[in-house]
Amino acid sequence: MQTDTIAAIATGMSNSGIGIVRISGDHAFEVIDRIYRNKKGEPQALSKADTHTVHYGFIYDGDEKIDEVLVLIMRGPHSYTAEDTVEIDCHGGSLVVKKILEAAIRHGARTAGPGEFTKRAFLNGRIDLSQAEAVADVINATNEYALKSSVSQLGGSVSRKIKELRGKLLYEIAFIESALDDPEHISLEGYSKKLKSSLSPMINEVKQLIQSADNGRIMSEGVKTVILGKPNAGKSSLMNVLLGEERAIVTEIAGTTRDTLEEHIYLQGISLHIVDTAGIRDTEDVVEKIGVDRAMRAAGDSDLIIYVVDGSRPLDENDKEIMEFIRGRKAIVLLNKTDLTLLVKKEELEGLTGQKVILISAKEEKGIGVLEQEIKDLFYHGELSFNDQLTITNVRHKEALEHAYESLQMVERSIEDGLPEDFYSIDLMDAYEQLGFIIGEAVDDDLVNEIFARFCMGK
């Protein structure tokens, strides 16, 4: 395939140790030949150099010496883009890298669009679409889990699973089609029963992948954590302790927090999107009422609820309402104000909520370590855990899986209703195509362009 030659700065646009300008395409070596001189200052044709070699020398724009550099030569298909590729490592001043890029442009390359190198890797068949998307996710990963999952997808973990499922579907489709074409030799006798039994594990796998997307959201956006409790329980105090700053207003007046307040924190590699809320109580105050509604809505939509109990006051109706609400949801119960005389017993609270209770004092910052450990344990071993399982992190992938899931269920229904075999193959084909979209088969150009437009420059 004849392609034009693109160039871009691959490193960040701030002063740094080194900067990298990358050139890729059919004329990449011609471009470098025009701007490279060896250590003696003489022109030297790197186009003749062996692949995967490094060359010390200088970049010139005409007669102007720009920088001392190392040049890497990589012949396609053994490069990121699968094309002839040149990487110029120069000093990392933003002016220097810009001037080297300009020299490359003046001598035959054109500026690459965002993600264009990765797009070429995809178009040249070196990686599939889900892997290309994982490249962007690796770059954008803001916590360890997101990074781990993206790297695994980059390695093809999602692609492999999808291809395996498609392989099985294709086998069934081919069987039905051949049998319909050649009924004398291939019999469909008893086939629907067989199909049904091979279909159900597939449907399960697709379902699990869809469910894993929830973890994927947690990874990329953080655990939605909502602090809930009656007024004056110490919710905002806890928020401030976790944040390490006086972010939320704290007063002894019940009903201080009116609106939800959202912040992001990192706890030992786990990212939490944490929401402080208005204290839950029955109130006639219009503004406070809205706040209470918002608190309940946030809690209903959360991954984790931290229920703060004021240990210095007896449990009341408001506590009962909250306990009712958190039943069956992921929650951690905190008995706060343990620096005061406790009127609520730990055992009593444990009995009422059915949850382990952690004693804390937000005021004296006691018990916070235990709380952090509890949250961490939820991730590593508990219900929120997502170690080592394949996780769908991409909304586009999730949607395709959902469509595939529907189609597979249709096949199941057609079998149950005793419909003829050609009905099965329509829906099987549909599921096959939907799964194909994930790895980039038969996706249209607009979608491809849209996906790569989201990349940063130089990737």
Residues that bind ligand GTP (CB under 6 A): 229, 231-237, 250-252, 254-257, 278-279, 336-337, 339-340, 361-363
Three-state DSSP class for 21?
Answer: strand
Distance in Å, CB of 23 to ligand GTP, minimum? 57
Residue number with CB closer to ligand GTP (236 or 391)? 236
Choosing among Mg ion, ligand GTP, none, which partner's interface includes residue 361 (Cβ < 5 to 8 Å by kind)? Answer: ligand GTP
* Spatial separation of the C-alpha atoms in residues 337 and 332, rounded to whole Å: 16
Q: Whole-number minimum distance, CB 277 to ligand GTP, in Å? A: 8
CB 439 within 8 A of CB 159: yes
The option from Mg ion, ligand GTP, none interacting with 340 (CB < 5 to 8 A, set by class) reads ligand GTP
Q: In whole angstroms, what is the distance from residue 88 CA to residue 93 CA?
A: 14
Specify the residue for token string 């379902």: 207
Give CA–CA dist 128/293, Å, rounded: 46
Q: Smaller CB distance to ligand GTP: residue 110 or 247? A: 247
Closest to 226 in 3D by CA, of 333, 304, 321? 304
Task: Show the site string, 206-245: x = touches Mg ion by CB under 5 A, - = not.
Answer: -----------------------------xx---------
Question: How far apart are alpha carbons 104 and 117 in whole angstroms?
Answer: 16
6, interface contact from Mg ion, ligand GTP, none, CB < 5-8 Å by kind: none
Q: Please report how many Cα atoms fall inside a 13 Å half-sphere around the Cα of residue 446, on the Cβ side.
A: 0
Q: What is each CA distance from 77 to 7, 20, 24, in whole angstroms?
A: 18, 21, 11
Q: Which is nearer to Mg ion, 124 or 256 (CB)?
A: 256
Q: Where are the beta strands (DSSP E) in 229-328?
A: 261-267, 270-276, 304-310
Q: Pick one of ligand GTP, Mg ion, none as the site partner of residue 399 (Cβ within 5 to 8 A by kind).
A: none
Q: Whose CA is closest to 279, among 290, 295, 299?
A: 295
Cβ atoms of residues 31 and 108 within 8 Å: yes
Residue 255 binds which of Mg ion, ligand GTP, none (CB < 5-8 A, kind-dependent): ligand GTP
Taking the least distance from each CB to ligand GTP, the nearer of 2 and 341 is 341
Output the smallest distance, CB 256 to Mg ion, in A: 5
Of 7, 8, 2, 52, the closest CA to residue 28 belongs to 7
**Torsion 36-41-43-47 (CA) sign:** negative
> Rounded to the nearest whole angstrom, what is the least distance from the CB of residue 300 to ligand GTP in the complex?
18
**Shortest Å distance, C-beta 263 to Mg ion:** 13
Give min distance, CB of 325 to ligand GTP, in A: 16
Q: For the CB of residue 244, give the shortest distance to ligand GTP in the complex, in Å.
A: 15
- Beta-strand runs (E) in 118-188: none
From the CB of 293, what's the least distance to ligand GTP, in Å?
14
Cβ distance 58 to 102 under 8 Å? Answer: no
**Beta strand 270-276 pairing with 223-228:** parallel
Query: Which is closer to ligand GTP, CB of 26 or CB of 321?
Result: 321
> Residue 2: which residues within 8 A CB-CB, separation 6 or more?
26
The residue (of 67 and 319) whose beta carbon lies closer to ligand GTP is 319
The nearer residue to ligand GTP, 222 or 234, going by C-beta atoms, is: 234
Q: Which does residue 57 bind out of Mg ion, ligand GTP, none, counting CB within 5 to 8 angstroms by kind?
A: none
Q: How far is the CB of 261 from ligand GTP (least distance, A)?
A: 10
235 or 398: whose CB is closer to Mg ion? 235
* Nearer to ligand GTP (CB atom), residue 12 or residue 369: 369
User: Cβ distance 388 to 374 under 8 Å?
Assistant: no
Find which of ligand GTP, Mg ion, none residue 302 binds, CB within 5 to 8 Å per kind: none
Cβ at position 229, least distance to Mg ion in Å: 9
Residue 101 Cβ vs ligand GTP, minimum distance, rounded to whole Å:
53
Question: What would the two tokens of residue 14 be?
Answer: 């701030």
Binder of residue 336, out of ligand GTP, Mg ion, none (CB less than 5 to 8 A by kind):
ligand GTP
In the range 247-276, which residues lie near Mg ion by CB under 5 A?
Answer: 256-257
Burial group, residue 103, by CB count within 10 angstroms (0-12, 13-18, 19+):
buried
CA count, 13 A, side-chain hemisphere, 89: 10
- Answer with the entry of ligand GTP, Mg ion, none that 252 interacts with (C-beta below 5 to 8 A by kind): ligand GTP
Rounded distance, CA 243 to CA 63, Å? 56
How many residues would you count in the chain? Answer: 459
Q: Which residue is nearest to ligand GTP (CB)?
A: 279
Nearer to Mg ion, 27 or 235 (CB): 235
Closest CA to 136 of 68, 72, 58, 220: 220
Instruction: Indicate the residue among 208 and 251 with the shorter CB distance to ligand GTP.
Output: 251
If one asks whether residue 302 binds Mg ion (CB under 5 A), the answer comes out as: no
Residue located via tokens 């229920």: 307
Q: Which residues bind Mg ion (CB under 5 A)?
A: 235-236, 256-257
